[in-house]
Amino acid sequence: MRAVRAHTGLSQARFARAYRINVARLRDLEQGRTRPDSALLAYLAVIDREPAAVERALGRRGRSPA
């Protein structure tokens, strides 16, 4: 989780907002209090490997995540 977010260069708050993930859940995941389910793992893989696809899916063509 943290590695994918670090790859984007975004803070926890900006990453959570950009990719529509609850910021409290993001913190819990990064601090090891909870574990990601398979759907979140797949979503993170797409964010990491195909960020443009996520941008299109979220309706943000050509804009940077914010």
Mean pLDDT of 27-48: 97
Cα–Cα distance for residue pair 66/63, rounded to 1 Å: 8
Question: Which residues contact residue 61 at a Cβ distance below 8 angstroms, ignoring those fewer than 6 apart?
Answer: 55
What's the CATH number of domain 2-57, 3.40.50.170, 3.10.620.30, 1.10.10.2160, 1.10.260.40?
A: 1.10.260.40
Please name the residue that has the structure tokens 């260069």.
9
Q: Which two tokens stand for residue 50?
A: 């195909």
Does residue 21 register a pLDDT over 70? yes
Average pLDDT, the chain: 92
Q: Has residue 65 got a pLDDT over 90? A: no
- Are 41 and 35 within 8 A, CB to CB? no
Task: Compute the chain's Rg from CA coordinates.
Answer: 11
pLDDT digits (tens, 9 = 90+) for 42-63: 999 999 999 999 999 999 765 5
